[in-house]
Amino acid sequence: MNHLIWITGLPNAGKTTIANKLTVECGLMFNQIPISLDGDALRRILNMDHITTDLERVKLGLTYVKLATDLVDQGHIVIVSAVAMYKEIFLTLAENIVPTSTFYIEAKREIRLERDNKKGIYKDRDLSIENLVDSLPENICRVPNNSDDDLDIAIGIILEDVLKKGFK
C-alpha cells in the first residue's frame, strides 16, 4: 500500500498533532505504519533552520515532495506535515504520479497564538506568512482544527479521502 498524505497549514495549526494521530490510525487501519515526515524535524536534519526567503522555502518544500514521492514509490504510506503552502509545491503535488491527498489545516488565529506559548514562533515573527493562505488551490481539502473535538473529525476527513483516492 502506498499513498502520500500532505498536511499543511500555518504554524501552530495542529499539523504535527494530526500527523501523529493519523500515523497511529493508519497503522491500525491498514496494518502498515506510515513514515511521518515533520517539517520542523526535516529542517533540522537537512541543516536548513537558517532559511528565510520564499525561494529557499519553496526549494525546501519541493525537496520534501521529492523525498516523500520516492518513499511512496517504494510502497510506503507517507505523511508530510509542514508549512509548505507555495503554489509551486501544490503544482508539483498535483502532477504527482503517486496517490496523493492534500489537506490544509485551518485554525483560528487566536487558537494558533494560544498554542504558540509552547513554541514561541509568533513572538518575534512577522505574521505576513498568513498571506500564503490566499494562494491555496481551490480544490484543497480544508480541515478545521480549533478544539480537541476537531482532532477526531480531522482524522476522519483525511482517512475518508485516502480511502476514496486509493492506493497504487
Across the range 5-27, mean pLDDT stands at 94
Say what the pLDDT of residue 96 is.
86
Say what the pLDDT of residue 61 is.
95
Say what the pLDDT of residue 51 is.
87
Q: Where are the beta strands (DSSP E) in 22-126?
A: 35-38, 77-82, 100-106
How would residue 29 be classed by pLDDT, with cut points 50, 70 and 90? very high
Amino acid at site 10: L
Q: Which domain holds residue 51?
A: 3-165
Q: At 143, list the grid cell.
A: 480541515
CB 132 within 8 A of CB 54: no
Residues 16 and 9: their CA atoms lie apart, in Å, by 10
Say what the pLDDT of residue 111 is.
86
Domain count, the chain: 1
Q: At 18, list the grid cell.
A: 494530526
The CATH number assigned to the domain holding 88 equals 3.40.50.300
Percent of the chain residues past pLDDT 70, beyond the cut? 90
Q: Kindly report which listed range (61-65, 87-91, 127-131) carries the lowest average pLDDT score.
A: 127-131
Say what the pLDDT of residue 127 is.
57
Q: From the CA atom positions of the chain, what is the Rg in Å?
A: 15
Is the pLDDT confidence value at 147 over 80? yes
How would residue 41 be classed by pLDDT, with cut points 50, 70 and 90? very high
Q: Comparing 50 with 122, which gets the higher pLDDT?
A: 50
